[in-house]
Structure 1
Amino acid sequence: MNDAVGRAGDDATGLDETGLDETGLDGSEGDARPGGLELRLDAPARTWTDAFPVGNGRVGAMVFGGTSSERVQVNDDTCWSGAPVAHPIAPLAGPGGPASELAAARGALADGDVRAAEGHVARLQSGYTQANQPLVDLLLTQRSAGEPREYRRTLDLADARATSVWTAADGAACRQDVLVSHPDGVLLLDRRTDGSTGDVDVALTSPHPWLRPPAALRTAAPADAPGAATPDAAAVPAGVAVLTALVRMPARVLPDYLNDAHAVSYDGPGVLAAVAVAVVPDGPAGASADDGTVHVAGASRVRVVLATATDHVVGDAHLHGDADRVVAEAVAVLTSALADLDGVPDRHVTDHRALMGRVDLGLAATPPDAPLDARLVAHARGAADPHLAVLAFQLGRYLTVAGSRPGTLPLHLQGVWNPHVTPPWNANYTININTEMNYWPTLVGDLAECHEPLLAWLDRLAAAGERTARELYGARGWVAHHNSDPWCFTGPVGAGRDSASWSTWPFGGVWLARHVVDHHDWTGDDDALRRHWPVVRGAALFLLDWLVPQPDGSLGTAPSTSPENQYLLPDGSVASVGTSTTSDLAMARDLLGHVRRLAPAAGEDEALVAAVDAALDRLPAERVAPDGRLAEWSTDVPDAEPEHRHQSHLYGVFPGTSIDPDQAPDLAAAARRTLDARGPDSTGWSLAWRLALRARLRDPGGVTDLVHAFLHPVDADLAAAVTTGGTDADGAAPRHVGGVYRSLLCAHPPFQIDGNLGFTAGVAEALVQAHRVDADGVREVHLLPALPDAWPDGHVRGLRLRGGLRLAELVWRDGRVTRAVLSAARPAVVVVRAGADAPGTRLDLPAATPVRVTP
């Protein structure tokens, strides 16, 4: 890359105030419109993971796309089991309390008695988180539909609309659109035909017992009449039927892995949730309600509008308990939308595009005219289809917009889409990787608004974790462990029997606090940094108290685990507790370094900075093990599971920023050997993490392999189609643990949304990196650091970078940058590199003025 640069109005002509052309980068419309961002399947969903997700941050729904029988499974993000409660701290601890158990565990580790140490930390466990809950299923039955022909359903990521089209048995053309509007707060199902829909029934079912079963809204009823609703029905237009219903979430749900026959209990306080549904036909007969079902006859169009409300107040995580108020709130949202129902779709699309349309990725290949399932099979068999990666990249951004909006709860393991009363791992906040991964693509994907739910929840979590830090460990600041929920559970999970490999990990707050740091690094928002600084400061205070002197004078951690991984003791038995795991020290060094760096902007006091400096000077760095891998444990012990899904000891590579081939070449090489040893297969979310790691290590071949592995289909019929007639080098059918379902939703398996979101972040890392800053404060922008050979031509527009930078435009041909445009929110000096080993070009970026870099 040379020094030829230009500014907007110079040789960057054609750029508007955003630095973007009206058309695509090569003069075409690119992949953003129309049809370029559609997920397509040619049959209705047979399973939940076949369905397409829609949402507005609070309400999420899975659309099955049935013709004669349609199911839309609906969630409200405030529907969880349980209620705010002060969990007992270490109820199993011995007479000396938690302090004696912690001291005994440390003493046992010093004596080399790992088993005794594990016994002591088991007595620090504090119960379980609560579980995310489904709300209702919206069911539509069209009895005269018959067998459809020419069926197709799509999810338009650009417009956030799930559409099914088909030809009915009588030849009528039929179409159904489903969306969930953020501006209006409602789900809208719109079914149309150029003939007659025939008889249509609309009903609600719920996996929970009804407190008030679905009943028609009415203005007067005996006070003791079941199902009586108090809101005024006068706001409901003539010919429209409205149902209201009320359910209560369970008081307790135990994790599914306990296999407890009494895992679900409604005995106790729980969230109250209301649903209001309006059915709006276009026929003269209107809609009528009977016994909780709405009937429509002879209409050519039927619109179903659904609103929800609960007594779960997100801002301070309490339940107000007023059932009538909850029903009234749902009806109020519903009737407000009915007042201008025709305008709901346009308002929805405008709102969604304002976020989704900020980033455009194209890989210069015409996608096959085939449904996703066929494309996934062909791709797994070796057919080139770069556009699948485009869809998966944008799906991660779409799910962020659909699942995380200001004022909502943050995305949990399944986002805001969960059909199970006892979901996998309680569909909770698993904070030893998964919750963090959920928000990796948010800032780079120019969706900073969608980061707010996580930051707001962290404020509440930190406040709750102060008690746990104080009473469990005698420490300042705050602590959280492996799992949490909206009620801000912060203790070690378990009842004395859960594995220490996940339970004994007090670094949830340390890792999560990095999101406050990242938000500032991307946005430069000093006000937001100061507002959320207690999260960072409290995590640092806990760290300073948690670190203990080691015999060599360094600081370390004890007891210590490497999340969910285990090693072998000399007798061949499995263990997980030790001292000073690499992940502990890497996360500690990372957070304390950020505290020192950001202290002036945050207004931090000198005393804390001095304590942080002293601790940083005594923290060991990562080391290379004798076998050439990056060491995971403080001693060289055998792995219990060499291909383990977690790779937390590579934190310094990603999401940390301290290890890359330039800054720490020996450690980077060791990290690469570690990934090689982990093998080619893993869970879906782990493949996404490894993709980001390979990109940060500038390994295009590794990126290629992981994109291919992530996009491997896991549905049984598709996996069988891939392996038919094919074997691996050993003559056995290829083994793929994780990948994607036919809908492109990530499979752990089961479904977890973190893999979809992590994939987006990993692709962004392969295209551009801006994590390095030299001693003079000059940031390096590295273009195409790990571009896969399978993507020789392409473009990306709109990615956000650290330092308030924006990659307004990047075009490449034959793997080489042909056009790049950068802009900065405030004046900045950067060094731009292109390709793996190219020298850098120093650029001055004025504020809000696009600058073209000419290779």
Structure 2
Amino acid sequence: MAPPSPPRTAADGPARHRLTAATPAHAWTEAYPLGNGTIGAMCWGGPDVDRTQVNDATCWSGSPDSARGEVADDGPARLARARAALAEGDVRAAEEELRRLQGGFSQSFQPLVDIEITREGADRLPAGQEAPPLGTRTLDLARAVAEHTWEHDGVRTTQLTFVSHPAQALVLHRTSSAAESLLVRLTSPHPSTTVTARIVADPDDVAGRPAGARIDLVTRMPHELLPWQAGAVQPLRYDGPAVSAVATAHVRTDGRLVAVDGGIRVEDASTLTLVLATATDAGGDDDRAPCHGDTGILLARAGDTATVAAERSVPDLLAEHVADHAALFDRVDVELGEDEHDELVARLFAYGRYLLIAGSRPGTPPLTLQGIWNESRTPPWNSDYTLNINLEMNYWPAHTTGLSECADALADWVRVLAARGRDAARGLYDAPGWVAHHNSDQWGFALPTGRGDDELSWSFWPMGGVWLARQLLETAEFTGRRSDAEAVWPTVAGAVEFTLAWLQPMPDGTLGTTPSTSPENDYLAPDGRPSAVTTSATSDIELVRDLLDGVLALPRDLVGAELHDRVARAHAALPPTRVLADGRIAEWHGDPPESDPLHRHQSHLAGLFPGRSITRATPELARAASATLDARGEDSTGWSLAWRLCLRARLGQPEHVARLFERFTRTVPPTVTDVGLSGGIYPNLFCAHPPFQIDGNLGVTAAVAEALVQSHERDDDGVRLVRLLPACPWRSGSARGLRLRGGGRLDLGWAAGEPVRVALGADRDVTYRLLSPTGGAREVELSGGSTVSLALS
């Protein structure tokens, strides 16, 4: 079998589209990620023992049953007592009532299978002998291919790995300049795993076809995993309803094949192709249906997928895969500056888009805290859906960087969450619509987490649905298509109904939220101890304001006249954003002392980003937001630095953007996985909290786009404003394909900090007012399908 001839190679593209290393990965945060939205793979690239660690996005602990949780039977009464206690200033009594609303725990994203390829004799190396040098280990972002090339005793071996979305399979192709003998095994960390291997007879009438074998792995996810805590042992239970999962690998080679325990021995082979497919009994047409547990059905499904792919040539599979990936990746590109750090930032921008394409496709679950890449049965923070910033941040770059369809996965899952959230809204609060809190999972867990002892600073936060609903409206904002608004409106409408019911009349005549928290933060209560529970935390009001703003921007006939009028009245009754005497945005009602002035969350600035209530048109609030960020400091966790980058970009502060990028790109050793408050990036460019969280990678991609162009404002006459280079710290560069609200797209080149060429295109009729960094303005009218080029030098 000849080596594949790809349409292009990694060397053909710019260096910013490649990750390279000269040694194998020795830690998970050095391995290279691949994915097709369902299958996620981490490629280690060892010359003696090669590991490819594989996830399936539907492998979670728990089941649809676990999402029901334990709804308090006296929830509305406890809510009423908590509100009364707050009105009387008794925060401790309010806390006690709210703890009784906790209803269990969200579940955890799980690993599935490892592919291990061991070179014969590798296990007999003398103790302490280092592996032979690796020539190249590369991840080509433009082609979504990991390539490892090395030499051993004069024998050159090359291995290509990719995860095809069209074929729904992982393809690993290995060629060697001389025959070698290998052991190919599938393993899983779950205790109920069984692996069977057999030689597959080839049809006699197919001349020259390589010998084939099949390896089937069958396993079962945990029934329950209690929440992750740093340094704590997490109990895993396998004694209840859970996901069954399989992985099927087809192996072909020009050598001899022998079935062995747990795998296949490949003898005297110069080529090896492995095609792997997965299947689980999670999800399907009814996300509330129980997991059926019929592994025969799953093996047939995965086997058919792997067989179809294995029947095709590697060059054919590769060409199809590269074309599919490039159709998304090639839409947008950014080149920054002239030095190595600027190129690193451009690489991080491309990497974030790559990860979104690899991890989130229509029909797949949305990205978790670690995307679709996780090797641990007890991952940090359960590798779940954290709704008070992190899941939303995962999709911040989807629209601005031309990947709107990658956000379909989020919209599909929010429908599942809303179904569970309706039960929670009625049971806990006697409210219409649907609610979601801080944590969720594949099954749509919607209750406050805990069993009476979780911290209220994260557990009690009924704004998850509010934030998610507002984010769902962004697709229509960017495309300008009514059909996109219609597709999400039923889900958004339920969140709006809950929001309107949740808002309560305040003594000053405004509407507010009670009880309320500011995500994961505390203030000092009158008794000197920390508390999180308050009334009308600023973050609540800003998130509600942003959602209602988004609804009022929709066509009135879509919303319905009655609901539209209710939304308008509620919006007008929201209190204004307050500025403290020291010039900062207020975070808490009553302005109590802060428990942690340098806290990683800056939720009270949601009106600045991703919201739209703090802009250049509100200069006092913009100055207060800047003062708030100054007080928070310029060091924090990785994902928090990404959010601060977006906030500083919205404020038009390129100097701060530059300093934050320096902090974000600090090198974190691959073995540092303890919770820390100074972020950076691992050797494979994964964002370090630490540990790894993918929201930082995706948030920083959004930040680059936000520094180059912004389109969230309108002028007094309703014309969309497009700010060019509003916070650009890079003296020169170019951007191609960035998307604008209203259906527009932008190509931009700049030098000496000034735009020198602009090309605007649009999918529909739209008018933009371009604003240059020096204050110049130019109005451009575009018709659908048209392109306008402007020379600004």
Task: Judge conservation of contact 2:197–2:213 (CA < 8 Å) in 1.
Answer: no
Structure 2 partner of 1:8? none
Structure 1 partner of 2:383? 427
Structure 2 partner of 1:156? 140
User: Following the alignment from structure 1 to structure 2, what is the Cα–Cα distance between the partners of residues 280 and 265?
Assistant: 37
Task: Judge conservation of contact 2:670–2:682 (CA < 8 Å) in 1.
Answer: no
User: Following the alignment from structure 2 to structure 1, what is the Cα–Cα distance between the partners of residues 752 and 67?
Assistant: 59
Matched residue pairs, number? 771
Which aligned pairs between 1:263-278 and structure 2 lie closer than 5 A?
Answer: 263-278=235-250
Does residue 795 (structure 1) correspond to residue 779 (structure 2)? The answer is: no
Structure 1 partner of 2:19? 39
User: Following the alignment from structure 2 to structure 1, what is the Cα–Cα distance between the partners of residues 670 and 478?
Assistant: 41
Does residue 852 (structure 1) correspond to residue 789 (structure 2)? The answer is: yes
User: Following the alignment from structure 2 to structure 1, what is the Cα–Cα distance between the partners of residues 490 and 555?
Assistant: 12
Task: Judge conservation of contact 1:643–1:677 (CA < 8 Å) in 2.
Answer: yes
Structure 2 partner of 1:323? 295
User: Which of these residues, 39, 48, 66, is aligned with residue 46 of structure 2?
Assistant: 66
Does residue 216 (structure 1) correspond to residue 181 (structure 2)? The answer is: no
Of residues 627-636 and 202-211 in structure 1, the stretch that sits farther from structure 2 once superposed is 202-211
Structure 2 partner of 1:350? 323
Does residue 172 (structure 1) correspond to residue 155 (structure 2)? The answer is: yes
Task: Judge conservation of contact 1:89–1:472 (CA < 8 Å) in 2.
Answer: no
Structure 2 partner of 1:705? 659
Deviation at 1:148, TM superposition (A): 2.2
Deviation at 1:604, TM superposition (A): 2.0
Which aligned pairs between 1:271-286 and structure 2 lie closer than 5 A?
Answer: 271-283=243-255, 286=256
User: Which of these residues, 506, 513, 521, is aligned with residue 469 of structure 2?
Assistant: 513
TM-score by length of 1: 0.87
CA shift digits 1:310-341 (9 cap, x unpaired) = 11134422323321010111110110001113
Deviation at 1:303, TM superposition (A): 1.6
Structure 2 partner of 1:605? 560
2:742 aligned counterpart, secondary structure: coil
Deviation at 1:237, TM superposition (A): 6.3
User: Following the alignment from structure 2 to structure 1, what is the Cα–Cα distance between the partners of residues 220 and 351?
Assistant: 32
1:442 aligned counterpart, secondary structure: helix
1:203 aligned counterpart, secondary structure: strand
CA shift digits 1:670-694 (9 cap, x unpaired) = 1111111111211110000110000
Give the letter aligned to residue 523 of structure 2: Y
CA shift digits 1:345-371 (9 cap, x unpaired) = 1111111111111111112437xxxxx
Structure 2 partner of 1:729? none
Deviation at 1:597, TM superposition (A): 1.8
Structure 1 partner of 2:109? 132
Deviation at 1:545, TM superposition (A): 0.6
Structure 1 partner of 2:5? none
Deviation at 1:775, TM superposition (A): 3.7
Which aligned pairs between 1:291-330 and structure 2 lie closer than 5 A?
Answer: 291-317=261-287, 318=289, 319-330=291-302
User: Following the alignment from structure 1 to structure 2, what is the Cα–Cα distance between the partners of residues 121 and 590?
Assistant: 26
1:453 aligned counterpart, secondary structure: helix
Alpha-carbon distance change, 183 to 684 in structure 1, aligned in 2, over 3 angstroms: same
Alpha-carbon distance change, 261 to 707 in structure 1, aligned in 2, over 3 angstroms: closer
Deviation at 1:174, TM superposition (A): 2.0
Task: Judge conservation of contact 1:60–1:76 (CA < 8 Å) in 2.
Answer: yes
Alpha-carbon distance change, 716 to 398 in structure 1, aligned in 2, over 3 angstroms: closer
User: Which of these residues, 225, 229, 245, is aligned with residue 217 of structure 2?
Assistant: 245
Task: Judge conservation of contact 2:677–2:690 (CA < 8 Å) in 1.
Answer: no
CA shift digits 1:4-54 (9 cap, x unpaired) = xxxxxxxxxxxxxxxxxxxxxxxxx99992444111122111111111100
Of residues 135-144 and 471-480 in structure 1, the stretch that sits farther from structure 2 once superposed is 135-144
2:26 aligned counterpart, secondary structure: coil
Does residue 119 (structure 1) correspond to residue 96 (structure 2)? The answer is: yes
Give the letter aligned to residue 762 of structure 1: A
Does residue 830 (structure 1) correspond to residue 789 (structure 2)? The answer is: no
User: Which of these residues, 667, 688, 691, is aligned with residue 642 of structure 2?
Assistant: 688
User: Following the alignment from structure 2 to structure 1, what is the Cα–Cα distance between the partners of residues 168 and 26?
Assistant: 28
How big is the alpha-carbon RMSD for the aligned residues of Structure 1 and Structure 2?
A: 2.3
Deviation at 1:745, TM superposition (A): 0.2
Give the letter aligned to residue 329 of structure 1: R
Structure 2 partner of 1:194? 177
Structure 1 partner of 2:164? 181
Structure 1 partner of 2:481? 525
Deviation at 1:627, TM superposition (A): 1.2
Task: Judge conservation of contact 2:134–2:150 (CA < 8 Å) in 1.
Answer: yes
Task: Judge conservation of contact 1:784–1:834 (CA < 8 Å) in 2.
Answer: yes
CA shift digits 1:804-826 (9 cap, x unpaired) = 1101x200011111100011111
CA shift digits 1:45-85 (9 cap, x unpaired) = 11111111000110001111111001111000010111112
Task: Judge conservation of contact 1:586–1:621 (CA < 8 Å) in 2.
Answer: no
TM-score by length of 2: 0.94
Give the letter aligned to residue 257 of structure 2: A
Name segments (4+ residues, structure 1) moved above 4 Å: 29-32, 86-93, 232-238, 258-262, 716-719
Alpha-carbon distance change, 695 to 351 in structure 1, aligned in 2, over 3 angstroms: same
Alpha-carbon distance change, 615 to 30 in structure 1, aligned in 2, over 3 angstroms: farther
Give the letter aligned to residue 446 of structure 2: T
Deviation at 1:115, TM superposition (A): 1.0
User: Following the alignment from structure 2 to structure 1, what is the Cα–Cα distance between the partners of residues 87 and 98?
Assistant: 15
Deviation at 1:90, TM superposition (A): 5.5
User: Following the alignment from structure 1 to structure 2, what is the Cα–Cα distance between the partners of residues 407 and 293?
Assistant: 32
Deviation at 1:663, TM superposition (A): 1.4
Does residue 359 (structure 1) correspond to residue 364 (structure 2)? The answer is: no
Alpha-carbon distance change, 242 to 568 in structure 1, aligned in 2, over 3 angstroms: same
Alpha-carbon distance change, 658 to 31 in structure 1, aligned in 2, over 3 angstroms: farther
- The structure showing larger relative contact order (alpha-carbon pairs under 8 Å, at least 6 residues apart) is 1
Unaligned runs of 5+ in 2: 1-8, 126-130
Of residues 62-71 and 249-258 in structure 1, the stretch that sits farther from structure 2 once superposed is 249-258
User: Following the alignment from structure 2 to structure 1, what is the Cα–Cα distance between the partners of residues 350 and 178?
Assistant: 36
Alpha-carbon distance change, 105 to 171 in structure 1, aligned in 2, over 3 angstroms: same
Identity across matched positions, percent: 48
Deviation at 1:144, TM superposition (A): 5.0
Task: Judge conservation of contact 2:333–2:737 (CA < 8 Å) in 1.
Answer: yes
User: Following the alignment from structure 1 to structure 2, what is the Cα–Cα distance between the partners of residues 210 and 525?
Assistant: 49
User: Following the alignment from structure 1 to structure 2, what is the Cα–Cα distance between the partners of residues 618 and 216?
Assistant: 70
Does residue 843 (structure 1) correspond to residue 780 (structure 2)? The answer is: yes
Structure 1 partner of 2:748? 810
Structure 2 partner of 1:223? none
User: Following the alignment from structure 2 to structure 1, what is the Cα–Cα distance between the partners of residues 350 and 408?
Assistant: 20
Deviation at 1:166, TM superposition (A): 1.7
2:543 aligned counterpart, secondary structure: helix
Deviation at 1:238, TM superposition (A): 5.8
Deviation at 1:398, TM superposition (A): 0.2
User: Following the alignment from structure 1 to structure 2, what is the Cα–Cα distance between the partners of residues 736 and 436?
Assistant: 21
1:674 aligned counterpart, secondary structure: helix
Alpha-carbon distance change, 316 to 545 in structure 1, aligned in 2, over 3 angstroms: same
Task: Judge conservation of contact 1:42–1:151 (CA < 8 Å) in 2.
Answer: yes
Of residues 777-786 and 205-214 in structure 1, the stretch that sits farther from structure 2 once superposed is 205-214
User: Following the alignment from structure 1 to structure 2, what is the Cα–Cα distance between the partners of residues 845 and 599?
Assistant: 22
Of residues 82-91 and 403-412 in structure 1, the stretch that sits farther from structure 2 once superposed is 82-91
User: Following the alignment from structure 2 to structure 1, what is the Cα–Cα distance between the partners of residues 767 and 370?
Assistant: 40
Deviation at 1:385, TM superposition (A): 2.1
User: Following the alignment from structure 2 to structure 1, what is the Cα–Cα distance between the partners of residues 552 and 138?
Assistant: 49
